């Protein structure tokens, strides 16, 4: 039994290792080589699924259906993750068409068989119907696996969990559907269902871990309808590209901070959620003192470096959950979810100290900033009200020395 398990693990290592190597170097070799190898392995998968069974203790497993078939589904998910839905549809449609052609050829061979060879004709006929059902399930599995992974990813689940849930759910559904046909029409015993299910769930854990490690360490895991969008793959690719463009459109190209468009979409919602749930929220308005003088005396390139430096300073001081928005010029807005007025005071002091103690590289002048703050509920219940209160305190800060923070609002 131990030898069988070791050999099965060796098969998985060879199969997935070679396929991942082809995928890893797809830019050099062309992704067509990866797809060709995947389709070639599908032939071996079909043959092994019907002819070879291995005894692992009390369980009898087919390496074709238990080892190769789940691996193919996980590899297609990999293509979707690292390429896009438009690319992954190529092997899926290719497998569908190829299996349909094979099924048609099986039927023709059955028609050509001599009438006296009734056994051969029966076997061919049964194989054809089984192939049609398997082809349909494969097509549904591939599409469902990609859509399910997409939905699970939107829940912000850890990558390993999303991959494992996707594989486990789809493999379970496929196993139920395919075995039902085998049991109803070919009287395959229920023990075969148990054995196959146990094997596929075990292999699902292995493939999930391998794929997670590959994405984690080899390729960092990042991606009325018109007639073109009726194809699910085109629709998914359209959504991927739209979201990617939408993210880029919300980033200030100079500093890397979020821009006013992002603030317009996100700011009111953040404040509204905080006030509705009773959670604290504070905002900080930050700008560079005498920024016009910097541009006039040292040039706009120096001013650009100062803006970049300020954003880097802010991000290194704040939490990852505190978004930074560039309002325009040298003025930035920081939103601090779950931060009370006292929390905001502490953060302001941290920013002032960081600006005072951190030297700008390649700069003949020191960076001084002014900050104004506002907090819910005392300063307002909307983003506009908070901005107005923070703006008053910002200008009161500027009335003092550079970098001075005003604790109380300016009089109306």
- The set of residues, in sequence order, having a beta carbon less than 8 Å from that of 86 and lying 6+ positions away, is 233, 234, 237
Closest C-alpha among 307, 282, 280, 311 to residue 294:
307
Question: In this model, does residue 325 exceed pLDDT 90?
Answer: yes
The whole-number pLDDT of residue 222 equals: 46
pLDDT higher at 37 or 110: 37
- Stated as kind and residue range, the H or E segment containing 263 is helix 260-277
User: CA angle, 21 as apex, 20 and 25 as ends, to 5°?
Assistant: 115
Half-sphere exposure of 217 (CA within 13 A, CB side): 7
Closest C-alpha among 389, 382, 391 to residue 274:
382
pLDDT higher at 384 or 226: 384
The whole-number pLDDT of residue 230 equals: 45
Domains contained in the chain, CATH given: 2-245 (no CATH), 252-399 (3.30.70.270)
- Stated as kind and residue range, the H or E segment containing 143 is helix 118-154
Assess contact for 237 and 148: CB atoms under 8 A. no
The whole-number pLDDT of residue 223 equals: 40
DSSP state of 286: E
Q: CB atoms < 10 A from the CB of 105, how many?
A: 12
Percent share of the chain, pLDDT over 70: 80
pLDDT higher at 230 or 364: 364
The whole-number pLDDT of residue 97 equals: 86
Phi, psi of 367 (to 5 degrees): -85, 125
């Amino acid at each position: 039994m131990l030898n069988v398990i070791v050999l099965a693990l060796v098969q998985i290592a060879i199969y997935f290792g070679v396929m991942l190597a082809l995928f890893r170097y797809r830019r050099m070799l062309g992704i067509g080589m990866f797809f060709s190898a995947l389709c070639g392995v599908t032939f071996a998968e079909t043959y092994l699924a019907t002819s070879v069974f291995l005894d692992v203790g009390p369980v009898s497993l087919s390496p074709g259906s238990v080892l190769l078939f789940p691996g193919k589904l996980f590899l297609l998910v990999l293509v979707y993750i690292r390429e896009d839905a438009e690319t992954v549809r190529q092997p899926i449609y290719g497998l569908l068409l190829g299996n349909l052609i094979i099924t048609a050829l099986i039927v023709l061979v059955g028609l050509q068989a001599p009438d006296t060879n009734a056994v051969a004709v029966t076997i061919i006929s049964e194989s054809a119907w089984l192939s049609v059902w398997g082809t349909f399930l494969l097509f549904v599995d591939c599409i469902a696996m990609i859509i399910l992974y997409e939905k699970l990813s939107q829940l912000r689940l850890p990558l390993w969990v999303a991959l494992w849930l996707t594989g486990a759910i789809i493999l379970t559904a496929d196993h139920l559907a395919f075995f039902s046909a085998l049991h109803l029409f070919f009287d395959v015993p229920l023990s075969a269902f148990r054995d196959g299910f146990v094997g596929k769930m075990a292999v699902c854990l292995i493939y999930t871990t391998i794929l997670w490690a590959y994405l984690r360490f080899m390729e960092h895991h990042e991606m009325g309808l018109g007639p073109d969008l009726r194809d699910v793959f085109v629709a998914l690719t359209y959504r991927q590209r739209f979201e990617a463009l939408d993210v880029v459109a919300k980033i200030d190209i100079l500093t890397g901070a979020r821009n006013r468009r992002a603030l317009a979409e996100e700011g009111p919602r953040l404040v509204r959620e905080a006030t509705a749930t009773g959670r604290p929220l504070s905002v900080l308005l930050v700008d560079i003192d005498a920024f016009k003088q910097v541009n006039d005396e040292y040039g706009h390139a120096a001013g650009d470096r100062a803006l970049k430096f300020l954003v880097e300073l802010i991000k290194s001081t704040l939490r990852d959950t505190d978004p930074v928005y560039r309002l325009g010029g040298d003025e930035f807005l920081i939103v601090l979810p779950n931060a009370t007025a006292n929390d905001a005071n502490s953060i302001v002091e941290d920013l002032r100290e960081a600006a005072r103690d951190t030297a700008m590289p390649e700069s003949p002048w020191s960076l001084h900033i002014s900050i104004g703050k506002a907090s819910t509920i005392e300063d307002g219940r909307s983003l506009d009200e908070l901005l107005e209160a923070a703006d008053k305190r910002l200008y009161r800060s500027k009335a003092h020395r550079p970098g001075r923070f005003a604790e109380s609002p300016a009089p109306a």
